[in-house]
């Protein structure tokens, strides 16, 4: 039944990522923790999807499974019809911490990701790194060390590094969470520009409601303990891609819908705890 559903969906819509009944449990102090409980979701080709939910609802766990950095307990996870078995160049990952190598210049940090790419000379790797640094707005900073750059600039380098082998799917785990508000807005716009240019799919993890609505085609709202998809919301509004978007009736409508779902989840948790 589930398999048939999966096949139908893949054929019908050009699905890129399909998660079917994904469950992940951890053992912690001899207790079993269900981080993800039968998560069911999909990402269409080139779609921008956010995974939104409170801390501890399993967002990072899910992203790590898609990245191939961890394995699930049960369920299936397919990228373009093939099961995900490990990390691969069809996916690029950006974490909240920039995790750049401090002894390398910006361009070397980016080129480093091409280390294992065959058939590219060092000169070509350098050229590619410079190209992606320009794409993220860092032209002229190629020879700066991470310590010489602001948080926003370091995150730009990390994005360039994730893009350098042209992944089909970009995975981002609260990538702007450590940035100040203004830088965060700039980075969101930068991300949208890159997304339009690269035409990749994006799985974006956040706990920020505004950010999810502003960026996404669809939002999956998650609930915690165990982590489940509580609601799927398609964001259908005209976006001018500037911050006036956040003042429109449509935006407020979606925000109300999402916030009330999060509140509902909280109330259910409380009830369960008291009962």
The two structure tokens encoding residue 139: 């032209």
CA distances from 173 to 15, 160, 268 (A): 21, 15, 26
Q: Are 182 and 106 in contact (CB under 8 A)?
A: no
- 234's CB contacts (< 8 A; 6+ apart) are 217, 218
Tokens in use for 204? 């974006």
Is there binding between residue 92 and ligand ADP (CB under 6 A)? no
Q: Is 60 in the site for Mg ion (CB under 5 A)?
A: yes
Residue identified by tokens 């950095």 is: 69
User: Which residue among 6, 49, 59, 219 contacts ligand ADP (CB under 6 A)?
Assistant: 59
Stretch that binds ligand ADP, among 26-34, 105-113, 138-146, 180-188 (CB under 6 A): 26-34
If one asks whether residue 206 binds ligand ADP (CB under 6 A), the answer comes out as: no
Which phi and psi angles does 127 have, rounded to 5°? -65, -45
Residue 98 Cβ vs Mg ion, minimum distance, rounded to whole Å = 16
Residue 35 interface partner, choices ligand ADP, Mg ion, none, CB cut-off 5-8 Å depending on type: ligand ADP
Is there binding between residue 56 and ligand ADP (CB under 6 A)?
A: yes
How far apart are alpha carbons 221 and 51 in whole angstroms? 6
Nearer to ligand ADP, 58 or 175 (CB): 58
Among ligand ADP, Mg ion, none, the one that 146 touches (CB under a kind-dependent 5 to 8 A) is none
If binding means CB under 5 A, how many residues of this protein chain bind Mg ion?
A: 1
Residues that bind Mg ion (CB under 5 A): 60
């Amino acid at each position: 039944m589930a398999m048939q559903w999966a096949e139908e969906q893949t054929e019908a819509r050009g699905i890129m990522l399909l998660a079917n009944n994904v469950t992940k449990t951890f053992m912690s102090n001899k207790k079993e923790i269900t981080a993800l409980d039968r998560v069911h979701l999909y990402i269409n080709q080139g779609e921008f999807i956010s995974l939104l939910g409170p801390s501890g609802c399993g967002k990072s766990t899910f992203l790590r499974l898609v990245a191939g950095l961890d394995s699930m307990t049960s369920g299936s996870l397919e990228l373009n019809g093939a099961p995900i078995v490990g990390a691969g160049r069809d996916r690029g990952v950006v974490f909240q911490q920039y995790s750049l190598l401090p002894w390398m210049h910006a361009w070397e940090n980016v080129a480093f990701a091409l280390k294992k790419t065959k058939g590219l000379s060092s000169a070509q790797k350098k050229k590619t790194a410079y190209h992606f640094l320009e794409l993220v707005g860092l032209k002229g900073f190629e020879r700066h060390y991470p310590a010489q750059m602001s948080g926003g600039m370091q995150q730009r380098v990390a994005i360039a590094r994730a893009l350098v082998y042209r992944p089909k799917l970009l995975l981002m785990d609260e990538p702007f969470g450590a940035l100040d508000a203004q830088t965060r807005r700039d980075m969101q716009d930068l991300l949208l520009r890159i997304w339009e240019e690269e035409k990749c799919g994006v799985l974006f993890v956040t706990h920020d409601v505004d950010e999810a609505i502003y960026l996404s085609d669809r939002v999956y709202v998650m609930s915690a303990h165990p982590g489940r998809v509580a609601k799927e919301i398609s964001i259908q509004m005209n976006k001018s891609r500037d911050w006036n978007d956040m003042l429109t009736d449509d935006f407020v409508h979606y925000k109300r819908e999402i916030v009330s779902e999060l509140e509902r989840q909280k109330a259910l948790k409380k009830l369960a705890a008291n009962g």
